[in-house]
Amino acid sequence: MKILVTGGIGLIGSACCELFLNEGHEVISVDNNTRKVLFGKDADNKLNIEESGISNNKKLELIDGDIRDKDTMANIIKKVDAVVHLAAQPSHPKSLEIPIEDFQINAFGTLQLLELTRQLNPNIPFAFMSTNKVYGDYPNYFNYKVVGKRYENTAYDSFNEELPVDRCGHTPFGVSKLAADVYAQEYAINYRLKTATFRGGCLTGKNSRAVELHGYLPYIIKCALIKKKYFMYGGGYRVRDQIHSFDVATAIYEFIKKPKPNSLGVYGKTYNLGGERKNSVSIFETVDAIKAKTSMKLDYEEAPDRESDHIWWISDMSKFRTDYRSWTITKDLDYIFNEIIEYYINELKLDIALKNRDYFKKRIK
């Protein structure tokens, strides 16, 4: 296959490029490193491809372009066998500062790619990376109790795709992604495109180029290692499930190899995508894990809630697992923490030893 990956130098994009090349496919990446423009030099994605060891791969074409450039994208879409659309303004707090640009990239950019696919190449699979922020702050409308160092939802073990997407607060990011998510569904219903939307939880890994406004787990680890004060918005009992970029890439790959329609033959399925309960961790547990692994104690200050942030999110992936039975999560929390800690120690040349590598394995039931 020849596969278009938008946002191909990003966290998930670089993992997809690497996986697809390893599987023998050709890849065209379109990414203009908007991440650096939005979040500054610490968010620069330029090293991700180089560090993945694929920059000289003859089957990889890297295009420094904007997904909103119609002519560029038309020329690519007409010659590929699949679209993996990952490019985005990815931060919900950032979207409050730049709602128009957020809309243009996330909503309009996606709509135009769908429309070009409809006009030029309507039979190919189109994977869209959406977000669990499409559910807005609906998860916060449930009851939670403190159990140990985390919140637990008193009614649900995890959230599936049945959660409502409206009548709650979103931030412009949640709205622009929801618009794109629903457009992807509509293009399947109205035009029979083979779309799917993946509603990601916390997607993570060493290529995150994390900053305060995006990439929570690597950012908190970085703060602890470089002794930077961390602002704990909404307190430390909050829970997120973590999924490694490699496992995100394999899930997307399963879909583009074999898109699954519903029982009426219509594509456009929505899938929650996250680390599930086993890979869930609270902020306080994260602080403890970093200390156990590195002896570094995080300097933090509790801060008020950020707009529409989830108190608690754990993904229920039964729907995806039913459609793709051989897919599985290969990277547990222990692996994820070690990879990110090791990466920062090397990248920032820190004199810190990583120890006690089994910390999380012992805790996961």
The residue from 21, 67, 76, 178 that contacts ligand NAD (CB under 6 A) is 67
The DSSP symbol for 46 reads T
Report the alpha-carbon distance of residue 136 to residue 181 in Å, rounded: 13
The Cα 262–Cα 256 span in angstroms is 16
- Nearest residue (beta carbon) to ligand NAD: 10
User: What whole-number distance in Å separates Cα of residue 155 and Cα of residue 167?
Assistant: 20
CA distance 282 to 262: 35
| 33 lies in the site for ligand NAD, by CB under 6 A | yes
80 forms part of the interface with ligand NAD (CB under 6 A):
no
9 binds ligand NAD (CB under 6 A): yes
For the chain, what is the radius of gyration of the CA atoms? 20
Could you tell me the smallest distance in angstroms from the CB atom of residue 88 to ligand NAD?
3
Edge-first strand listing for the sheet containing 269-273: 60-63, 26-30, 2-6, 82-85, 125-131, 194-200, 269-273
In this chain, which of 202, 224, 232, 256 binds ligand NAD, going by CB under 6 A?
Answer: 202
| 203 binds ligand NAD per the rule CB under 6 A | yes
Q: Which of 3, 4, 5, 12 binds ligand NAD (CB under 6 A)?
A: 12
Question: Which one among 3, 4, 10, 163 touches ligand NAD, defined by CB under 6 A?
Answer: 10
Select the residue interacting with ligand NAD from 4, 13, 110, 206 (CB under 6 A). Answer: 13
* Token pair in block for residue 150: 């985390």
Nearest to 242, CA basis, from 205, 196, 209, 272? 205
Short-list 72, 56, 59, CA closest to 28: 59
Residue 257, Cβ neighbours under 10 Å: how many?
Answer: 12
Q: What is the DSSP string of 208-244?
A: G--BTTB-HHHHHHHHHHHT--EEEET-S--EEEEEE
Shortest spacing between CB 353 and ligand NAD, in angstroms? 28
Q: Does 129 contact ligand NAD by CB under 6 A?
A: yes
Cα distance between residue 345 and residue 27, in whole Å: 31
User: Distance of CA 50 to CAs 9, 31, 44, 56, 132, Å?
Assistant: 9, 14, 13, 8, 30
Indicate whether 317 belongs to the interface with ligand NAD (CB under 6 A). Answer: no
Give the residue with the Cβ less far from ligand NAD, 140 or 356. 140
Tell me if 35 contacts ligand NAD by CB under 6 A: yes
Site membership for ligand NAD, residue 66 (CB under 6 A): yes
* 221 is a site residue for ligand NAD (CB under 6 A): no
| Stretch of residues binding ligand NAD (CB under 6 A), selected from 61-69, 229-237, 315-323, 338-346 | 61-69
Asked if 105 is part of the footprint of ligand NAD (rule: CB under 6 A), the reply reads yes
Among 28-36, 253-261, 287-295, 355-363, the segment contacting ligand NAD (CB under 6 A): 28-36
Binding window for ligand NAD (CB under 6 A); candidates: 86-94, 220-228, 250-258, 262-270:
86-94
32 counts as binding ligand NAD under rule CB under 6 A: yes
87 binds ligand NAD (CB under 6 A): yes
Q: Which of 5, 54, 73, 88 binds ligand NAD (CB under 6 A)?
A: 88
Give residues 326-355 in contact with ligand NAD (rule: CB under 6 A): none
Nearer to ligand NAD, 30 or 287 (CB): 30
Helices (H), the chain: 11-22, 34-39, 47-51, 70-77, 92-97, 99-103, 109-120, 171-191, 216-226, 245-257, 283-294, 318-323, 333-347, 359-363
CB of residue 72 to ligand NAD, shortest distance in Å: 10
**Count of CB atoms situated within 10 Å of the CB of 273:** 25
Which one among 3, 4, 5, 7 touches ligand NAD, defined by CB under 6 A? 7
Select 43 or 287, whichever has its Cβ closest to ligand NAD.
Answer: 43
> Does 60 engage in binding with ligand NAD (CB under 6 A)?
no
| Binding footprint of ligand NAD on the chain (CB under 6 A) | 7, 9-13, 30-35, 45, 66-68, 86-88, 90, 105, 109, 129, 131, 200, 202-203
